[in-house]
Structure 1
Amino acid sequence: MNQQATEQTSLLTQARQRRSPFSLPALLLAGACSLVAIGQPVQAATVSAPVLLEHVRLFDGTDTPEQEDMAVLVEGQSIAAVGHNGAVKAPKGTKRINLSGKTLIPGLISNHSHVGVVSGTKIGAENFTAPVIKTALDQYERYGVTTVTALGLTKSPLFDDLRKAQHANTDGADLFGVDQGIGVPGGMPPEGMVKVGKDQIFRPSTAEEARQAVDTMVSEGTDLVKLWVDDFRNGVKSAKPLPVMKPEVWQAVMAEAHAKNVRVAVHIHDLAYAKKLVSAGADIIAHGVRDEPVDDELISLMKSHNVWYVPTISLDEATYLFAEQPALLNDPVLKAGLSGDLSRQFSDAAWRDKIVKSPLDAASHKAVAMNEQNLLALYKAGVKIGFGTDSGAAPVRIPGFAEHRELRLLVEAGLTPLQALRLATSQAAALLNLSDRGVIAPGKRADFVVLEADPAQNIAAVDQISAVWRGGVRADGPLVPR
């Protein structure tokens, strides 16, 4: 890093420290005492002057086409008014910001990520700490991801306190998710790879143990229940399969969760398991089907059972992307989220050669193509689609950057840029039952991203972040210093 870049990084760090009057311990205490309901706007602790964003191109997160020369009035943590420029009346003392030539979109929302699993190139229980998680949440925010759902591998009470703290402040992405999650003894998620502590996941072997795990998670206030049903071969025929969860266990999980009015998200890879889990009562399929084309049976099941589908196409792309495209290391958008350790790994020719020659490389290419094909088929069929990446579960799934890659892959699959953005905003909010965000409209949270270019013309415009706002507070930025 050159001296100028070092100075810019230092200034950004100082600005972030100045932005929030609270220390992390204070935030955790505030969060632990908070009575904020999920999805409800939080009242600002201090009253700031209203802000009018003028002359901006607007994508509001819905099916409405982009609108030119619009104005958005922000008061406190909420959007007070939206209209054509000149039609929005601003109170006396309003700060005006001219955004001519720029585009305003809702903050991105991830329905499938993980926190506290990875630090640099290392995976392990030692990473589940408040500083590591807060660093990731800050990074998500810089990339315009203002709400994150951590689907398991968490630890109470730290995760619950952090979640409450993020609901009650505007520093870093907001946080929802799953307490622990339910895996398989000796199976998924693989203990030799995902080296989390025993207090970060349940591995019941009986239906009764499964019900007890659900009861514990619900008592901790989990937003969802997560379970893994997969043999972890990932399309590699020569790979040794891991044990798969028994039907009586997943059936007990779903029955107990639904009895307590909590929805269940399921990790799958294969079509056969997707059908079985949807039939059994899964509410969210947390990964795309990647082994074969989806068929009319799955489509009918998902629509009749009102099930959400989160493709996470970038999960498999990340397996080979950095090994096959080392030139990406020169991309300032990637550099903005890359640790030194990970940068050195991507620069290592031996590491790249090993990845490219592995059986998983070819299998991952096939998985991406199949996932894209299935996403488009399900989208056209009217299945409800969310947005996620599994970022944070492995070092190569980089928080924030992975979400930008996912948008590109959705467009590559056949969606228009605005259709892809709708999945990542209003649809992702709907999956979480969050009615206070995901769209730009009066009364909604002031969570939005200002882009230098028009994403309707090229989805790569999401990389050109000028500013990110969460809860009416402008975060540090831009993503890439100019």
Structure 2
Amino acid sequence: MLVLRGADVVDANGIREADVAVEDGTIVSVGDAPDADEEIDASGKFVAPGLIDAHVHLMMDGRPDVTSIVDDNETMLAYRAAANLRSALEAGVTAVRDLGAPRSLAIDAGEAVDEGVLDGPQVVACGENVVMTGGHGHWFGREADGSAEVRKAVREQLKRGADVIKCMATGGVLTEGAITGAPELDEDELTALVEAASAKYVPTAAHAHGTEGIKNAVRAGISSIEHGTFMDRDAAELMAEKGTYWVPTVKASHGILTEGVEAGIPEYAVEKGEEAANAMTDAFEYALDADVKIAMGTDAGTPFNFHGEIPEELELMVEYGLTPEHAMEAATVNAADLLGLSDVGLVEEGCRADLVVLDADPREDVTTWQSPTRVVSRGTIVR
């Protein structure tokens, strides 16, 4: 048995002083704990759930021009994924959703973590993105046109073992020639995608920047909108009505704007990134006013957006209007709900022992997530 002793336990249900006892990877009690085989003195500190990132790309490493990854072979991409998994875990991230990698690379990475071959967060993975021919991310996606082709593309990912199906409903920042907010897969194609995934009870995610693409995806029944940059008030209200999650990925544009062309980011990406960043203030206003469900995601792997810096997303969301408590919920219970993980996101008896020890109350100091003093994953001390 492992006991984290003397801490203030904090999660979406509030705060209480308690010991946290862990056995066989599961939290067995939150309260007064007996002597244990191993103890962590957490007095004066805060024990919180591990973070959950609902949007990463494990094969990407934050390089300035992500399209250059096409020159790397799949073996190198796998090594990179392994390194990124370890970096994310050490940063206190205990579950991730990979939303696009070649073939079954991310699906296989998740199996390697589950089997103990790799150290890393639990991985929920989509396989390959479904994209229109020449659309955003075509260089690592599965191109498909028309409802029949889209259904087949979805079934290919399901055959590989995909936990979620990801598609491109609009253009994006990092594909040259793509118009960021312009619709790509149309509503009929998106509906076919959702129907094919739902037949296997598998959720869906749509990269969608522009308002029309967002609305197409929501009406089609997509589970989550990724980015949602140019969301208008009507789109936000539609998302709230349908219960569609929003994953803002603020860090994606932050890295592009912070480093710029001088760091090697393509000029077209910087120009589109600036346009996207300028629209985010309004998107957050509309989403918060409509009470849209928000889950934390970073798009980790995009330019200067490193897996080891995932916790910075919570600070950025607070800068856009979330409270630190709301940001914590987005990165724990909300993200767990979106990923379909019923045993993580809280510090409660019966939950998986994915925990971080923090120096400050994260409901008051959102930056404390960026420097956990301890990380526990599946009951094992990582650091």
TM-score computed with the length of structure 1 as normaliser: 0.71
Bigger radius of gyration, 1 or 2?
Answer: 1
Q: Structure 1 vs Structure 2: percent identity of aligned residues?
A: 29
**Deviations 1:411-462 (Å, cap 9, x if unpaired)?**
1112221221111011100111111101110010110111223323321112
1:230-275, CA deviations, whole angstroms, 9 ceiling, x for partnerless residues?
23368x9997998823444323222222233222210011112111
The aligned counterpart of 1:53 is: 4
Alignment of 1:259-298 (within 5 A): 259-288=199-228, 290-291=229-230, 294-295=232-233, 297-298=234-235
| 1:89 matched residue in structure 2 | 33
Structure 1 distance, partners of 2:62, 2:265, is 20
Amino acid at match of 2:364: Q
Looking at structure 2, the residues matched to 132 and 276 of structure 1 have their Cα atoms a distance apart, in angstroms, of: 35
Structure 1 unaligned spans of 5+: 1-49, 324-349, 477-482
One-letter amino acid of the counterpart of residue 205, structure 1: D
Corresponding letter in the other structure for 2:148: E
For residue 184 of structure 2, the aligned residue among 226, 244, 248 is: 244
Q: Deviations over 1:20-76 (max 9, x none)?
A: xxxxxxxxxxxxxxxxxxxxxxxxxxxxxx12211212212x142x33x42111112
CA shift for structure 1 position 217: 1.3
Map 1:5-404; keep pairs closer than 5 Å.
Answer: 50-60=1-11, 62-64=12-14, 66-67=15-16, 69-83=17-31, 88-90=32-34, 93-118=36-61, 122-124=68-70, 126=72, 128-129=74-75, 130-156=78-104, 158-169=105-116, 171-191=119-139, 196=140, 201-232=141-172, 244-288=184-228, 290-291=229-230, 294-295=232-233, 297-323=234-260, 351-352=262-263, 358=267, 361=270, 364-392=273-301, 394-401=302-309, 403-404=310-311
Residues 298-324 of structure 1, C-alpha deviation per residue, up to 9 Å, x if partnerless?
Answer: 23322332211111111111112235x
For 2:364 and 2:185, how far apart are their aligned partners in 1?
Answer: 45
Q: Report how far residue 366 of structure 1 moved.
A: 4.8
Provide the rounded CA distance (Å) in 1 between the counterparts of 2:161 and 2:178.
41
Runs of 5+ in structure 2 lacking a partner? none
Alpha-carbon distance in 1 for matches of 2:61, 2:278: 27
The one-letter code sitting in structure 1 at the alignment partner of 2:216 is: K
- Structure 1 residues 240 and 443: CA distance shift in structure 2, 3 A: closer
Q: Give the aligned residue type for 2:8.
A: R
> Counterpart of 2:351 in 1: which secondary structure?
coil
Distance in 1, matches of 2:217 and 2:249, equals 18
Contact (CA 8 Å) 2:62, 2:306: kept in 1 or not? no
Amino acid at match of 2:373: S
Residues 205 and 162 from structure 1, CA distance in 2 versus in 1: closer, same or farther, beyond 3 angstroms? same
Deviation digits for residues 343-372 of structure 1 (CA, Å, limit 9, x no counterpart): xxxxxxx824x769x575465345335324
**Shift of the alpha carbon at 1:218?**
1.3
- Structure 1 residues 279 and 138, CA, compared in 2 at 3 Å: closer, same or farther? same
Determine the C-alpha separation between the residues in 1 that align with 2:289 and 2:226.
19
Distance 1:266 1:373, change over 3 A: same
How many corresponding residue pairs? 376
Distance in 1 separating the partners of 2:99 and 2:19: 36
Label 1:417 to 1:242 Cα distance change in 2 as closer, same or farther (>3 A).
closer
C-alpha spacing 1:238/1:124, structure 2 compared with 1 (3 Å): closer
Contact 1:453 1:464 (C-alpha < 8 Å) held by counterparts: no
CA contact (8 A) 1:139 1:400 kept: yes
TM-score using structure 2 length: 0.89
Q: Is 1:233–1:240's contact at 8 Å kept on the other side of the alignment?
A: yes
CA distance 1:247–1:380, change in 2 (3 Å) = closer
**Deviation (angstroms), 1:127:** 5.5
- Kindly indicate which of the two structures has a greater share of residues assigned to strand: 2
Mapped contact 2:182–2:210 kept (Cα < 8 A): no
Q: Aligned partners of 1:460 and 1:305: how far apart in 2? A: 32
3-state SS of paired residue (2:82): helix
The answer (yes or no) to whether the contact 1:153–1:179 under 8 Å persists in 2 is yes
- Distance (whole Å) between structure 1 residues aligned to residue 112 and residue 368 of structure 2: 31
- C-alpha distance in 1 between matches for 2:8 and 2:259: 34
Cα distance in 2 for residues equivalent to 1:119 and 1:307: 28
Contact 1:188/1:243 (CA < 8 Å) preserved in 2? Answer: no
Could you tell me which amino acid in structure 2 is paired with residue 124 of structure 1?
A: V
